[in-house]
Amino acid sequence: MWSTRLISDNGLTRQGDGFRLDIRFPWYRSLPLSVLRGLDLKVDEQPVAATDMTLEVNGQRFSLDDLEHRVDDWWHVLDSGYLLVDGHRLEPGSEHKLDLTFTFEIPYVANAVVPSRCVKTLEAA
Amino acid sequence: MKNRSRIKLGTTLYSFTNEFHGREYDFEQLVRKVADEDLGPGLEVVGFQSIRTFPHVDDDYVRWFRGLVDECGLEPTCLGLNADVNVRRGQPMSLDAAVETQRVQLETAAKLGFKIARVQGYILGPDAYEKLLPDAERLDVKMGIEIHAPHTVHDPDIIAYREAVERLDSPYLGFIPDFSTSAVAVPPSYIAAARNAGATDAAVEEALTMWRDGMTEDRMTVFQRWVGSGIPMGGVGLLARMFGMFGRQSVEGWREIMPRVIHVHGKFYDIDANGEETAIPFRELLPMLVDAGYEGYISSEWEGHVFTDDSGFDNLRKQQKLSVEILDAAVREPA
């Protein structure tokens, strides 16, 4: 199921004063970033503010509130995207519970908003 | 797999979404495995799943794709198109813009050697396909409007398509029945997935009772309202979707459109220990197709990957074995 793979195994990497989380688009096909409606992350039960996160896809970084305009930026179904989270320092080798809800709208039907949730405990590399 | 009827079997690579999305097999490996496992000869793909640059393909890609399929002894049957009308939030594409996206995708279908393109009935309406008919004829690619849960052949939306198909009366516009429309039960693995996600026994019982009573689109609303009265969420969201995923149309209902059927999606879920499909009445559907004179392809389409981590290949082997048994018997003992 896509929700099993939403957060990649071994996907937590310390970066700067925060971390990077390797994630996958939970659907069977490629879609443009403009269909995303929500990326809600909790780390060890604490919600991460959307303003602390950017999304990196195809080597480009996007703020979460800019995504709905990104009609021509595609997230290929086999590619990882990266949630870059600032201001959350993690100890190397520490374990954390990641709880991500990824919500998007299917563009080829009407009014179909699909939430997918994945909870994984990962070690911070 | 070969069978004694005039109907040909095949596979849609969508069945292997767990393997593909899970990066266990890439596109080429999936095609080769379909051939190695004798799950052809038909090969169906969804453009936006299998082809990175879709809808654009260059000459090198076309040559490579066609070479691979030929080398594997497979026949490209149907390319799944999508009309992404709502790609821009709150600003649906105009009909003409949407039609143009389908025109581009039809061109790609033709380049890749597909004789049929799956188009969807959810969103565009019959006018779109009327506008595309000259392109379909020019490209020699037939457009098949997929009839898929929650639609049935009797829904007003589908009746509108049926009227247009009759009026236009072209071999380049027909239907693709998807067997999700005519389920007789909800697959056990679906209920298990809902329980796993937290659905209570009470929620499962209520949902199944409503579903068995002869559900309609309204049932989803009725169930959701019942849910809102204090039943814990979690798996209940998944349960509610059963009303949209598994339809209740009779097998005989398909007969009304059989003269316009150009391709079939053999949607299926769990195969039990006796080799029988638990939710989709293949033992009635396949003889009906034979009796109606259908001579096209059936793409086996396993969709359990939406709610399980199981293997598409395991399920495909079982379902095609079952299909061969049923089709062989149908020509020995005609209905």
Residue B117 has pLDDT above 80, yes or no: yes
Residue B233 has pLDDT above 60, yes or no: no
Each residue's pLDDT tens digit, A56-101? 999 999 999 999 999 999 999 999 999 999 999 999 999 999 999 9
Per-residue pLDDT at A110? 82
ipTM for the whole complex: 0.97
- Within 8 A of A78 by CB-CB distance, chain B residues are 20-21, 23, 26, 52
Average confidence score pLDDT of chain A: 96
- Interface test with chain A among B84, B118, B148, B309, by most A beta carbons within 10 Å: B84
Average pLDDT, integer, range B111-132:
95
Each residue's pLDDT tens digit, B90-101? 999 999 999 999
Confidence of residue B198 (pLDDT cuts 50, 70, 90): confident
Question: Nearest by CB to A1, which of B52, B89, B307?
Answer: B307
Average pLDDT, integer, range B176-195:
96
Average pLDDT, integer, range A18-36:
98
CB contact under 8 A, A1 and B306: yes
- Which pairs from B61-69 meet CB under 8 Å and 24+ separation? B62/B111, B62/B112, B65/B112, B65/B113, B66/B112, B66/B113, B68/B28, B68/B31, B68/B32, B69/B31, B69/B43, B69/B113
- Interface test with chain A among B89, B224, B309, B310, by most A beta carbons within 10 Å: B89
Query: What residues contact residue B148 under an 8 Å CB cut-off, 6+ apart?
Result: B120, B121, B178, B180, B181, B265, B267
CB contact under 8 A, A34 and B88: yes
Residue B224 has pLDDT above 90, yes or no: no
Residue B333 has pLDDT above 90, yes or no: no
A108 touches chain B (CB under 8 A): yes
C-alpha–C-alpha distance, residues B117 and B139, integer Å: 11
Per-residue pLDDT at A111? 81
Nearest residue on chain B to A72, judged by CA atoms?
A: B87
Average pLDDT, integer, range A33-54:
97
Average confidence score pLDDT of chain B: 93
Nearest residue on chain A to B13, judged by CA atoms?
A: A28
What does the angle CA B102 – CA B104 – CA B110 come to, to the nearest 5 degrees? 100
Per-residue pLDDT at B200? 87
Average pLDDT, integer, range A8-35:
97
Question: Nearest by CB to A1, which of B120, B122, B305?
Answer: B305
Per-residue pLDDT at B228? 57
Interface of B with A (CB under 8 A): 14, 17-18, 20-23, 26, 46, 48-49, 52, 54, 82-89, 120, 122-123, 193, 237, 305-309
Residue B225 has pLDDT above 90, yes or no: no
Tell me the shortest Cα–Cα distance from B51 to chain A, in angstroms: 9
Residue B22 has pLDDT above 70, yes or no: yes
CB contact under 8 A, B86 and A31: no
Phi, psi of B276, rounded to the nearest 5 degrees = -95, 145
Per-residue pLDDT at B292? 98
Q: How far apart are the first and last CA of chain A?
A: 26
Confidence of residue B325 (pLDDT cuts 50, 70, 90): very high
Nearest residue on chain B to A108, judged by CA atoms?
A: B84
Residue B230 has pLDDT above 60, yes or no: no
Per-residue pLDDT at B203? 86
Per-residue pLDDT at B138? 98
Each residue's pLDDT tens digit, B274-316? 999 999 999 999 999 999 999 999 999 999 999 999 999 999 9
Average pLDDT, integer, range A98-123:
92
CB contact under 8 A, A108 and B88: no
Per-residue pLDDT at B232? 41
Question: Nearest by CB to B85, which of A32, A107, A115?
Answer: A107
Residue B7 has pLDDT above 50, yes or no: yes
- Within 8 A of B89 by CB-CB distance, chain A residues are 34, 68, 105
Per-residue pLDDT at B177? 98
Cβ-Cβ contacts under 8 Å between A and B: the total is 71
CB contact under 8 A, B22 and A32: no
- Within 8 A of A68 by CB-CB distance, chain B residues are 89
Instruction: Go through B60-76 and write b for each residue having 16 or more CB atoms within 10 A of its CB, e for each that does not.
Output: ebeeebeebbeebebbb
Tell me the shortest Cα–Cα distance from A30 to chain B, in angstroms: 6
